[in-house]
Amino acid sequence: MEPQNDLSMITLFLQADIIVKAVMLALLGASIWSWTIIFEKVRRLRSLNRHARDFEEQFWSGGALDDLYDRIGKSARDPMSAIFVAAMREWRRSLERSRNEAPSLKTSIAARIERVMQITSERELEIIESRMGFLASTGSVSPFIGLFGTVWGIMNSFHNIGVSKNTSLAVVAPGIAEALFATALGLVAAIPAVIAYNKLSTDIDRYAKRLEIFSGEFSAIVSRQLDERR
């Protein structure tokens, strides 16, 4: 088979126009980076859920919360532990300042602790959700980038037909194949990104709900202990 009729992927890339090559490289890079993000997020979420399960076992084991806080200290390794540490730190500081305060001021302690947990949760979730926007963009934009490469390649094919005045399949096929290869790469980049984005978003939302439930439970504990101190 003659080289110009070789329709292997490498040959299609090497024979493509510079614009089509740029499109292919961009889509290939987007696909590689998307898979890197996907693997990192899957590993990260599994680790977070495992740490959350371990922490919940310690939290509900019946031991003193102060002892748990002293053990964890500054080594909180997951968002749930970080929320607990931030809340306990604010709890201790507030109690030191409010030993002789009125009950109304003690009520504000619970509000401050709840606010601290909310801020910590939002900050931790922002870290977890980082680079998710790239998956969303890849899933929505890649097909159009691939289509642009296809349109450009087909335009070049018709131009070559006009120059050579030869409409045989042997002349048209390589150029059309190069153009369609760009569309294929666009779909290869977009489809996994869309599926992964939807799945990871659901998992992150489920984990965020887990943090929200823990924060609510801890707020209830704080409120009860404040009532007992009045």
**Mind listing the pLDDT tens digit for each residue in 142-161?**
999 999 989 988 887 777 67
User: Could you tell me the pTM of the whole model?
Assistant: 0.83
Instruction: Read off the pLDDT of each residue in 31-49 and give the average, rounded to a whole number.
Output: 96
Tally of domains within the chain: 1
Structural domain boundaries enclosing 171:
7-229
Per-residue pLDDT at 209:
96
Given a cut of 50, is residue 37 above it in pLDDT? yes
Residue 156 CB-half CA count within 13 A: 20
Is the residue at 225 inside a domain? yes
Instruction: Pick the more confident residue, 17 or 79.
Output: 79
Per-residue pLDDT at 6:
57
Name the band, by pLDDT with cuts 50, 70 and 90, for residue 3.
very low
Q: Is 101 helix (H, G, I), strand (E, B) or coil?
A: coil
Cβ contacts of residue 66 below 8 Å, gap of 6+?
88
Instruction: Read off the pLDDT of each residue in 58-87 and give the average, rounded to a whole number.
Output: 88
Instruction: Read off the pLDDT of each residue in 95-111 and give the average, rounded to a whole number.
Output: 65
Per-residue pLDDT at 66:
86
In angstroms, the CA 112 to CA 90 distance is 8
Instruction: Read off the pLDDT of each residue in 101-129 and give the average, rounded to a whole number.
Output: 83
Is the residue at 2 inside a domain? no
Name the band, by pLDDT with cuts 50, 70 and 90, for residue 141.
very high
In angstroms, the CA 44 to CA 39 distance is 8
Most confident of 25-29, 166-170, 179-183: 25-29
In angstroms, the CA 49 to CA 197 distance is 18
Per-residue pLDDT at 63:
82
Name the band, by pLDDT with cuts 50, 70 and 90, for residue 1.
very low
Instruction: Residue 69: name the closest of 87, 91, 85, 86 by CA.
Output: 85
Is the residue at 19 inside a domain? yes
Is the residue at 55 inside a domain? yes
Q: Which two tokens stand for residue 230?
A: 């009045």
Is the residue at 1 inside a domain? no
